């Protein structure tokens, strides 16, 4: 009988979920839209060098060396160069239109040529930079260094062959799968998928509170069912709905943004299922600790946003300071996102899913245990 009741509870909750078409569309469309946005932003950030760092050069030196430096910089594909006056160059940085402006003073080339060989009276190359782009400043500084030295040597020894680095570099992603690489879409869909999965869990918890408020819980309690069966039914339907939310998002990411599950598909599904179980028990916890639906929703959304922020859903945890990276292991979403990252762009095999799954199941047990303990069973 308990199985029939469980099936009835799950079917009813799925019917209620799908009966609100606007909510269903929002449940699936919102994470896809936001994840696509974040994926696009972080993809662009990763490909910033290829797109060309925007810089301005104000060359006040008409010497051969300076002309050669400017020509080399302009030929560099990693930089998007505009020639201008010193005032315009300063203004462009101030307004954030370019990342760096290079001011080459009069006589710079000749002075640099002399200083290169005698090490004295080094001329000053003025770099104006946008403080919000310090990483690009370092890149531009390194490139300028190379182009200036090359131009000075070429001017001193015109017959010498072009200077090249005395070594070559082999670069490859340090991933289990050598063809894998960081995929901003994979990460953003993991993050946003989990955020909206938790929002679905909030709806589950609020739904229970509304059922209580509307007297429906009385019908459930008057049936010959155990407390475990009642909460278990809610947990199963919550898990199915939240899992569906996550899987629909990821299917979109796979089809549209070519996100690959480079690790293990069973591992991915295992982490996703454990995440959904954790989320649905989080929903039960909300129902157990909440009093009124309105007040509970506000607190739950705040708690969820904290969890997804600290879990690295918005910004990958590798951007976090090291102390925060260590501290956030107590946040379940961190394990969910790391687990999905491991199965997608990191390309780690099934073994990489075991620990995140175990930790997520542990969080699910903790949330579920507190929910059963704190749930108000008595109906007045």
Partner 1 sequence: MLQVKNLRKTYGDIVAVDGVSLSLAPGQLLGLLGPNGAGKTTTVSMIAGLVTPDGGEVMVGGAPLVGDTNPLKRKIGLVPQDLALYDELCPTDNLRFFGGLYGMHGNALAVAIKNVLELVGLADRARDAVKNFSGGMKRRLNLAAGLLHDPDILLLDEPTVGVDPQSRNAIFENLELLKSRGKALLYTTHYMEEVERMADRVVVIDHGKVIADNTLAGLLASVPPKPGEKPSLEAVFLTLTGRSLRD
Q: Kindly list the residues in this chain that would bind partner 1 in the complex (CB under 8 A).
A: 1, 4-5, 7-9, 11-12, 15-16, 19-20, 214-216, 218-227, 378-380
**How near is the Cβ of 317 to partner 1 at its closest, in Å?**
40
**Is-contact 259 346, C-beta < 8 A?**
no
Residue closer to partner 1 by CB (options 8, 135) is: 8
Residue closer to partner 1 by CB (options 1, 255) is: 1
**How near is the Cβ of 227 to partner 1 at its closest, in Å?**
6
Residue indicated by tokens 């006056």:
85
Separation of alpha carbons 360 and 363, rounded Å:
5
Residue closer to partner 1 by CB (options 106, 221) is: 221
The residues, any chain, with a CB within 8 Å of residue 163's CB and separated by 6 or more, are 149, 150, 153, 154
Residue closer to partner 1 by CB (options 124, 379) is: 379
CB crowding 263-302: b at 16 or more within 10 Å, else e: bbeebbebbbbbbbbbbbbbbbbbbbbbeebeebbeebee
**How near is the Cβ of 276 to partner 1 at its closest, in Å?**
23
Separation of alpha carbons 314 and 95, rounded Å:
27
Residue closer to partner 1 by CB (options 62, 374) is: 374
**How near is the Cβ of 30 to partner 1 at its closest, in Å?**
21
**How near is the Cβ of 10 to partner 1 at its closest, in Å?**
10
**How near is the Cβ of 5 to partner 1 at its closest, in Å?**
5
Q: Sheet containing 100-104: give its strands across.
A: 79-83, 53-59, 100-104, 126-129
Residue closer to partner 1 by CB (options 10, 364) is: 10
Residue closer to partner 1 by CB (options 207, 356) is: 207
CB crowding 138-149: b at 16 or more within 10 Å, else e: ebbeebbeebbe
**How near is the Cβ of 372 to partner 1 at its closest, in Å?**
13
**Is-contact 219 61, C-beta < 8 A?**
no
Rg (CA), the chain: 29
Residue closer to partner 1 by CB (options 26, 305) is: 26
Residue indicated by tokens 């639906």:
293
**How near is the Cβ of 18 to partner 1 at its closest, in Å?**
10
**Is-contact 204 241, C-beta < 8 A?**
yes
Separation of alpha carbons 58 and 9, rounded Å:
72
């Amino acid at each position: 009988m308990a199985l029939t009741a469980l099936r009835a509870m799950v079917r009813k909750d799925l019917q209620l979920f799908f009966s609100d078409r606007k909510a269903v569309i929002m449940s699936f469309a919102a994470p896809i839209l936001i994840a696509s946005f974040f994926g696009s932003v972080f993809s662009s950030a990763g490909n910033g060098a290829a797109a060309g760092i925007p810089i301005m050069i104000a060359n006040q030196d008409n010497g051969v060396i300076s002309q050669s430096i400017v020509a080399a910089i302009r030929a560099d594909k990693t930089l998007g160069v505009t020639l201008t006056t010193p005032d315009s160059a300063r203004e462009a940085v101030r307004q954030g239109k370019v990342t760096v402006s290079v001011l080459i003073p009069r006589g710079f080339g000749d002075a640099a040529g002399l200083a290169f060989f005698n090490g004295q009276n080094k001329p000053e190359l003025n770099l104006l930079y946008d403080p919000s782009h310090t990483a690009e400043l370092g890149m531009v500084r390194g490139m300028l260094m190379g182009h200036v030295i090359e131009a000075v040597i070429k001017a001193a020894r015109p017959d010498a062959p072009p200077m090249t680095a005395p070594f070559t570099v082999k670069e490859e992603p340090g991933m289990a799968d050598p063809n894998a690489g960081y995929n901003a879409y994979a990460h953003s869909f993991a993050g946003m998928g989990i955020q909206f999965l938790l929002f679905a869990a909030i709806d589950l918890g609020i739904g229970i509170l509304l059922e209580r408020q509307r007297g429906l819980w009385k019908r459930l309690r008057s049936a010959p069912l155990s407390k475990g069966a009642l909460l278990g039914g809610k947990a199963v339907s919550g898990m199915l709905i939240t899992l569906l939310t996550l899987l629909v998002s990821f299917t979109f990411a796979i089809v549209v943004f070519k996100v690959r599950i480079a690790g293990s598909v069973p591992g991915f599904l295992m982490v996703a299922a454990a995440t959904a179980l954790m989320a649905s028990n989080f929903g039960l916890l909300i129902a157990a600790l909440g009093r009124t639906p309105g007040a509970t929703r506000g607190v739950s959304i705040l708690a969820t946003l904290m969890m997804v922020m600290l879990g690295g859903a918005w910004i990958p945890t590798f951007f976090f300071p090291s102390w925060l990276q260590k501290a956030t292991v107590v946040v379940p979403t961190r394990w969910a996102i790391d687990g999905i990252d491991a199965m997608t762009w990191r390309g780690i095999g099934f073994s990489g899913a075991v620990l995140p799954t175990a930790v997520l199941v542990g969080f699910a047990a903790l949330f579920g245990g507190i929910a059963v303990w704190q749930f108000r069973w008595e109906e007045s």
